[in-house]
Structure 1
Amino acid sequence: MSGVGPDFLATSRSAVGLLRDPAVAAAWDSPSALPEFSVAGLAGHLAYQILAVPDALSAPPPNEPVIGLLDHYGRVEWIDGGLDADINVRIRDGGARIAAEGPAALAARTAAVLDELEDSLATAPERAVHMPIWGDWSLSLDDLLVTRMMELAVHSDDLAVSVGVATPELPPSAVETVVSLLSRLAVRRHGPTAVLRALSRAERAPSSITAF
């Protein structure tokens, strides 16, 4: 199994547990904490972070060059796209389509895919992988799983807040991986001094060091 595989699986199991929470089904058609996302659409987007991995694993080795994580986030369109940017509209629409089967079916399908990933990741070699939404580049399998872990962690919090339940706890090593990525992205966006002050000096902290 890849180096971050166990943490990805643990983070995914946590997300599936949240998808199964009765509070999610009860609020299914309500607005979420994210603009223009219903609870259903947000749940679908959360599930997608797991559902998309098998296709990446089963696809032939990509021809697109492998780049690093920070280069990846420097190229994705959704970060600097506004709420109504085409890429972000497509992301929301995709979440809604995935969720169209309803809360119970979505949770069951995601759990079944996760069961399959437990086996396939155990024997998957470290290799390059590509997702069509990215563009003309690939990532290592480990880096793909880190991107999914970050999405799972962030959107689990979004979904939990949306339905009024506690945010699921993640393994410390998974939290470290996600926070490390977000910290590096925050430094890229705001500069090292702003991040240093935000983490160490309340009296000089900037108003925001969000990664996105």
Structure 2
Amino acid sequence: MNRTSFVVAAKTAFDLASASEVADRWGEESACAGMTVGGLAHHLLQQASNTVRLVQMEPVAEPPIGLLDHYARAAWVEAGQDDEANVTIRESADAGAEGGPERVLEQAAHALDLLPSALETHRVPDQVHIPWQGWSLTTEDFLTTRAMEIVVHSDDLAASVGLPTPEFPDDLVAEVLRLLAGVAVRRHGQAAVVRALSRPQRAPESVSAF
């Protein structure tokens, strides 16, 4: 993935979160059940903020794990809506939105200003430690995970307030789709995903990655 595309995607998410429709419905429930529109906007914009923060941290000695192993280990992936892993994510997002849209957008704008220089190749280590998970990914895999969050949650936010889902750079979307397909195959098997994409008459009801 071109790192410029990642910056473009982060700015696209910021533009969506800046829409008046988002501010107008800030305290209402979003398309992500149990999370407010403001909480969802905060969670979306945190992807750029966390990227700036984590790529500048010193890497740990432990080698990175694989991208699909990251999702196999992460508690939230197969957790139910009311399980602790997902409740914690929602509560943290809503708490982060309590300052209101202006404060959330101000913090996000600052992160966006720092993002291009933070992603310069000569400054970024080969791997990124994810402290809330306890393991590391290669830098490119880490950026793919953040890109997935940006693309998926931008769709969630747009759906929450009745706006069109924004378009993202093709190379970034290709990486996100590769990731989602890989997770879906692990969860549902090759045949299920192949049928969902090519044979609707034999496709299972769902091959959702998450």
Give runs of aligned pairs for residues 69-88 of structure 1, distance below 5 A: 69-88=67-86
Alignment of 1:62-141 (within 5 A): 62-122=60-120, 123-135=122-134, 137-141=135-139
Uncovered stretches (5+) of structure 1, i.e. residues with no partner: none
Q: Find 2:10's aligned residue among 9, 12, 16.
A: 12
Alignment of 1:185-200 (within 5 A): 185-200=183-198
193-202 vs 48-57, which moves further: 48-57
User: Does the 8 Å CA contact 1:4/1:142 hold for their aligned counterparts?
Assistant: no
Corresponding residue of 2:144: 146
What is the match of residue 207 of structure 1? 205
Supply the distance in 2 between the matched residues of 1:6 and 1:157 (Cα, whole angstroms): 21
Paired letter, 1:43: A
Cα distance in structure 1, aligned partners of 2:145 and 2:82:
23
CA distance in structure 2 between the aligned counterparts of 1:64 and 1:83, rounded to whole angstroms: 32
Q: Name the structure 1 match of 2:176.
A: 178
2:46 counterpart residue number: 48
Q: Distance in 2 between matches of 1:141 and 1:124?
A: 12
Flag as ranges the 4+ runs of structure 1 deviating above 4 A.
none
Deviations 1:38-95 (A, max 9, x none): 1111111111111111221221121333111001111000011111222211111211
Show structure 2 runs of 5+ residues with no match.
Answer: none
For residues 21-60 of structure 1, the aligned pairs below 5 Å read 21-60=19-58
- Residues 192 and 203 in structure 2, CA contact (< 8 A), matched pair in contact too: yes
- Tell me the residue number matched to 2:59: 61
Following superposition, the deviation at residue 140 of structure 1 comes to 0.9
- Between the aligned partners of 1:198 and 1:21, the Cα distance in structure 2 is 34
Q: Is the 8 A contact 1:11 1:170 kept in 2?
A: yes
- Mapped to 2, the partners of 1:211 and 1:170 lie a distance apart of 20
Size of the aligned set, in residue pairs, is: 209
Give the whole-Å Cα distance in 1 for the aligned partners of 2:200 and 2:79.
30
Percent identity of paired positions between Structure 1 and Structure 2: 44
Q: Which amino acid aligns with 1:149?
A: A
Distance 1:34 1:43 in 2: 11
Alpha-carbon distance in 2 for matches of 1:42, 1:66: 29
> What amino acid is aligned across from residue 86 of structure 1 in structure 2?
E
Structure 1 stretch 49-58 or stretch 139-148: which is displaced more?
49-58
Of residues 144-153 and 108-117 in structure 1, the stretch that sits farther from structure 2 once superposed is 108-117
C-alpha displacement at 1:126, in angstroms? 4.2
8 Å CA contact 2:47–2:150 kept in 1: the answer is yes
**More displaced, 102-111 or 27-36?**
102-111
